Amino acid sequence: MKIKQTRDTLSTTYLDAVKIRNLIFVQGQGVPLSIEIDKNEAYCIHFVLYDDNDKPLATCRLLPDEQKGFVTLQRMAVLDTHQGLGLGRRLLQAAETFAKEQRFKKITLHAQMTAYDFYAKNGYLPVGERFLEAGIEHITVEKTL
């Protein structure tokens, strides 16, 4: 397995990320495409985890905020057929390593409540109350790097 990253929204890696996000969020959870693909796409670093046959299996993106010294993890998704295999953890660790290398001090994200335990097991702490985003219950979590 390997993880690729890109900021190029015309690259194959980015297009693979969008395919996974479309399957999981748009088709699977009913998130409107107009929300899923947003104005931040070109500002983000997109990560895609591939299997040994170059099949994309998982994705996430980081939206940096240099002024505030943190990054926001977004659009974390693992194909349904590959959940529970540790791919999300591996991808999360790659994103955290990248953020540390870029000297960011913290990662924050809006975790779907169904994924909250995953983030908690990986050292993320809740901040604030639950809220609805795209009709799905979330909570903000963060981790100091």
Structural domains of the chain in order of their starting residue, each with its CATH number: 2-144 (3.40.630.30)
What does the alpha-carbon distance between residue 125 and residue 105 come to, in Å, rounded to a whole number? Answer: 15
Cα-based distances in Å from 81 to 49, 85, 99, 139: 14, 10, 28, 25
Does 72 have pLDDT greater than 90?
A: yes
Which tokens go with 70? 């943190």
Instruction: Please tell me the pTM assigned to this model.
Output: 0.94
Which tokens go with 65? 């905020």
Cα-based distances in Å from 17 to 84, 105, 136, 143: 19, 25, 21, 24
User: What pLDDT does residue 43 have?
Assistant: 95
Query: Picking from 29-38, 48-57, 89-98, 118-127, which range would have the lowest pLDDT averaged per residue?
Result: 29-38
Confidence band, pLDDT 50/70/90 cuts, at residue 68: confident
Confidence band, pLDDT 50/70/90 cuts, at residue 80: very high
